Amino acid sequence: MTATVTVLPEIGSPNPAGDTEDGFGALRTDRGNLPLDQLDLRASITGLTVGMELTQGYRNPLDEPLEATYIFPLPDRAAVTSMRMEADGRVVTAEIKERGQAREDYQAAIDSGQRASIAEQERSGVFTMRVGNVMPGERVVVRLTLAGLLPFEDGAATFRMPLVVAPRYVPGIPLPGRQVGDGQESDTDLVPDASRISPPVLLPGFPNPVRLSAQVDIDPSGLPLPGVRASLPVTVGGDREDGGLTLTLDPGQRADRDFVLRLDFGTSDGVLTGLVACPDQTAGGAADDASDGTFAVTVLPPPPPASARPKDVALVLDRSGSMRGWKMVAARRAAARIVDSLTAADRLAVYAFDHEIERPPGLPAGLADATDANRFRAVELLAGLQARGGTEMLGPLLQAANLLAGTAGAAARDKVLVLITDGQVGNEDHILHALRPLISGIRMHAVGVDTAVNEGFLRSLAAIGGGRLELVGSEDELDEAMRHIHQRIATPVVSGLRIESAGMAADLDTLAPARLPDLFAGAPLVITGRGRSVLSGGLTVTGTAADGTPWRQQLGAAAAGRPELAAVWARMRIRDLEDSYVTAAGPAAELEQAIIATSLRFCVLSRFTAMVAIDQRVVNDGGVLHRVTQPVQLPHGWEMAVNPAAAAMLAMPGAGQPGPAYPGLVRPGAAVPMAARSSGRRLALRGGPAR
């Protein structure tokens, strides 16, 4: 069957006049062109597994050696498994090391005049690449290899490649002394690494500085594939004998939003049902059935119950400045749909926040019965909200969690907290740490609204709350997304999931996710783990159905020729350990060592490790090095109020006012974009020592 490929409509206003596709070289500064000139993605999707290679091309347009720093995103679920650097006909494969050691080795190589590169994880989906001693006129290519599983819900699988790190709200008091990174935000007591996650932002109207290309090969592995939806314009390469497709990104696209493909399989039949296992390969490349191995179990939900338990729902809506434009419209609609889905048997509370918290007038301070009148009062508030101010997210989340935690009748009612936001905050660890102790007994869902959403943070929030994450990339996706979230806030079809060994020597302490969420209609759950003799015996999945009766699935293991499964498990395991680390859910030193050990053994990047590639040849005898931090596009659909007078002030020292703001965006009442802070940093290029 020939699949229909649909390109989702773009959002926001068209490109400014004169913003043509001039390509690399059109954007110039007082130091020349920008170093990053190419991003190329090659992905291969087989069923619900995906392998990717991301190529970053750097060129030195200056007359002196260069070190380029690029802050970039990668898929939150994917494991970075290898890196190699290519320059001047030489190929260097990176080594994975503890982060401190990798930094020392990189800096020693740079100081010695050797060409080198280092990849470091700053957040679950944010990374920094540094490429040093790139000689004048030289081009260096860095290739990252990734592996992952595609999420599958409601008959569709989703492939998502983020392409830009969006500006984030950075709260807290600026720290004295030297910054830890080369970004444009100051490090604070709440976000001590803000300068490592805040790349400079190009103003609208600049020609496209990066050539972006992508090719995705899709092999449905025997599953029907009636349609594929794409967030960017793609060209279909024609039908193949295996029923698959090859999609190529149309030229001229900008790296300013997530590249998303939705594969509409239309059914969950045959989609990774049951239990698959893959023994580890020996040094000679063979698999030993009796050795350690990795397994993945997919739990398919039963049909939803005819009736649901009453719910206490606390709805928290982000109306801060970064939500301006289409996102605010979509967030208001999403919140109103959730309110309208409640019945008189439910209770609700609504919090709208920026740097202040607003609640519907006329409703009680606690939970209100979801009567027609009270739902109307809540929707009336939502309809009038406009984006403004800073993203002080923790306060309303704490209020909502405390309210739900203090309600009576817990055994008879579901407690649900729903957050609607773009997630663009820098203090993710602070929020997770403060919220985790209050979430016990509360199911937390997140709705991410943005073209470049902070997926890693929102997924962690949903994970500690045993809930689900729903992503909305445009208003056109909202209706479908709200159908999904309506199912998620309903009573789960199975709760209290447990995995038990049934012949397989599974190590149940290695299950990922560590906290098994409840099972919701239309949303299969994939659980990975490690064990011995993984092809022997099977596993039993148990839980409690919505009607209170026991629920049970017996699964036998089937062999899977998927060596990448170990890396996928390692990435999921590391994510769990990192979440526990930042929320103080266990001894910090032990968690750090567990993360490092898993990362090094399975060659998967983590926040405590880094990949470093060093060319042993000395290319820069003089030691002079010019350092540049690559600016990024403003995410598509974000609004920025800039006038010519303000733009002319960008390079003026002392322009703007210090305080919470989104880099490159205008605070209410501000005369210039906050990219021009009191530091007087230029927007496009920033020099300074590497860190």
Q: What is the pLDDT of residues 514-562, one digit of tens each?
A: 989 888 888 889 999 999 988 888 999 999 998 889 999 888 888 877 7
Q: Which residue has the higher pLDDT, 210 or 21?
A: 210
DSSP H or E stretch at residue 512: strand 505-512
Residue whose entry in the numeric block shows the structure tokens 């569709």: 156
Summarize the confidence of residues 111-130 as an average pLDDT: 97
Check: CB of residue 591 under 8 Å from CB of residue 581. Answer: yes
Q: Which two tokens stand for residue 673?
A: 């974009």
Q: Which two tokens stand for residue 647?
A: 């733009």
pLDDT at 347 over 60: yes
Average pLDDT of the chain? 84
- For 169-203, what is each residue's pLDDT tens digit? 999 999 999 999 999 999 999 999 999 999 999 87
Summarize the confidence of residues 577-599 as an average pLDDT: 93
pLDDT, residue 562, reads: 79
Please give the backbone phi and psi of residue 326, each rounded to the nearest 5 degrees, phi first.
Answer: -60, -30
Summarize the confidence of residues 478-498 as an average pLDDT: 82
Please give the backbone phi and psi of residue 620, each rounded to the nearest 5 degrees, phi first.
Answer: -125, 85
Question: The sheet that has 227-230: what strands, in order across it?
Answer: 4-7, 227-230, 259-264, 156-161, 152-153
pLDDT, residue 227, reads: 87
pLDDT at 270 over 70: no
pLDDT at 594 over 60: yes
Q: Positive or negative CA dihedral for 129, 40, 207, 23?
A: positive
Distance between CA atoms of 224 and 1, rounded to whole angstroms? 8
pLDDT at 85 over 80: yes
Check: CB of residue 79 under 8 Å from CB of residue 60. Answer: no
Residue type present at position 624: V
pLDDT, residue 222, reads: 74
Residue type present at position 425: V
Distance between CA atoms of 319 and 389, rounded to whole angstroms? 8
pLDDT, residue 266, reads: 66
Distance between CA atoms of 73 and 39, rounded to whole angstroms? 12
Q: Which residue has the higher pLDDT, 266 or 625?
A: 625
Check: CB of residue 480 under 8 Å from CB of residue 455. Answer: no
| Helix 588-602, helix 565-582: angle, nearest 10 | 160
Residue type present at position 125: G
Sequence-separated (6 or more) residues with CB below 8 Å from residue 60: 35, 66, 134, 135, 136, 137, 138, 139
pTM equals: 0.87
CA diameter of the chain = 76
pLDDT, residue 520, reads: 87
Summarize the confidence of residues 258-284 as an average pLDDT: 76
pLDDT, residue 479, reads: 79
Summarize the confidence of residues 126-137 as an average pLDDT: 97
DSSP conformational letter for 306: S
Task: pLDDT band for 218, please (50, 70, 90 cuts).
Answer: very high
Q: Which residue has the higher pLDDT, 287 or 574?
A: 574
Name the percent of the chain lying above pLDDT 90. 63
Torsion of CA 455, 459, 461, 465, to 10 degrees: 160
- For 457-478, what is each residue's pLDDT tens digit? 999 999 998 888 999 998 788 8
Whole-number Cα distances in Å, 512 to 263, 294, 403, 601: 25, 11, 30, 17
Distance between CA atoms of 420 and 335, rounded to whole angstroms? 7
pLDDT at 76 over 60: yes
Distance between CA atoms of 472 and 410, rounded to whole angstroms? 31
CA angle 428, 431, 435 (to 5 degrees): 140
Please give the backbone phi and psi of residue 672, each rounded to the nearest 5 degrees, phi first.
Answer: -135, 160
Please give the backbone phi and psi of residue 70, each rounded to the nearest 5 degrees, phi first.
Answer: -130, 120
Residue type present at position 28: R
pLDDT at 4 over 70: no
Task: pLDDT band for 284, please (50, 70, 90 cuts).
Answer: low
Q: Which of 351, 157, 144 is nearest to 261 (CA)?
A: 157
The alpha carbons of the chain give a radius of gyration, in whole angstroms, of 25
pLDDT, residue 605, reads: 98
Q: Which two tokens stand for residue 567?
A: 């890396």
